[in-house]
Chain A
Amino acid sequence: AQTVTQSQPEMSVQEAETVTLSCTYDTSESDYYLFWYKQPPSRQMILVIRQEAYKQQNATENRFSVNFQKAAKSFSLKISDSQLGDAAMYFCAYRSGFGNEKLTFGTGTRLTIIP
């Protein structure tokens, strides 16, 4: 079974600074997807960024980028120019590429933005 581990329960960053959230996963599959979701106080899950395992290039979405290290099974999220609206719980998630659409989530990292 696949597992997703987020070792940082809480992180904080000064507004406009850069922060990196860590995520590691364990799988024996070769084809899979990785995601970062944001859950603000409203509890609405919002997709931040995704990475296909077969792609070597790290995904980027505006201020959000990932460092995908497939051999190390590591998938960290970097948030640049942090904004107050970035404050939320961030969940790393894994999905198999072999038909099973189940998302396996990590335990989350609570990100606080310091004005």
Chain B
Amino acid sequence: GAVVSQHPSWVICKSGTSVKIECRSLDFQATTMFWYRQFPKQSLMLMATSNEGSKATYEQGVEKDKFLINHASLTLSTLTVTSAHPEDSSFYICSARGGGMTSYEQYFGPGTRLTVT
């Protein structure tokens, strides 16, 4: 199956700093990527959907100026958490779908654990 990677797998940053998380499709071209957030022992909540070369579509309640998403190429999307605060600590998961795939296929990355101190 298709492989999606995330980097880093975990990161600790200080409050007020920014941190960037990368999501890469390793063996297919990802025309659409999704970013999810998962709090401990909770479900995945979609934050935004991004299509290559266009601006991301954010879900209601997600601050687009705080969570910057860039999908500049067909294999890479980045999520930047700006001016991070402890409440941003969470598990961030990306998923991707390729242009040649059936519409219901999404392949998930292994996730990134963010801790803000």
Contact = CB atoms under 8 A, between A and B. Distances in A.
A106 B43 CA distance: 7
Contacts of A108: 42-43
Contact of B104 (A33, A42, A106, A107): A33
- Which one of B42, B95, B106 has the highest number of Cβ atoms from chain A below 10 Å of its Cβ? B106
B44 to A, nearest CB: 5
Interface residues of B, number: 18
A91 B108 contact: no
A45 B95 contact: yes
Interface stretch (A64-72, A73-81, A95-103): A95-103
A107 B42 contact: yes
Contact of B108 (A45, A104, A106): A45
A114 B32 CA distance: 40
Contact of B43 (A35, A50, A91, A95): A91
Contacts of A106: 43
B46 A102 contact: yes
The SS class assigned to the B binding surface is strand
B111 A44 contact: yes
B76 interface: no
A55 interface: no
A107 B110 contact: no
B103 interface: yes
Interface string B50-91: 000000000000000000000000000000000000000001
B29 interface: no
Given A50-B104, A91-B44, A95-B104, A44 B49 contact: no
Nearest to A33: B104
Contacts of B110: 42-44
Contact of A43 (B42, B91, B95): B91
10 contacts: A43-B110, A44-B110, A45-B44, A52-B104, A101-B97, A103-B44, A104-B46, A105-B45, A107-B42, A108-B42
6 tightest Cβ-Cβ pairs between the two chains A and B: A45-B108, A105-B43, A43-B111, A33-B104, A105-B44, A107-B43
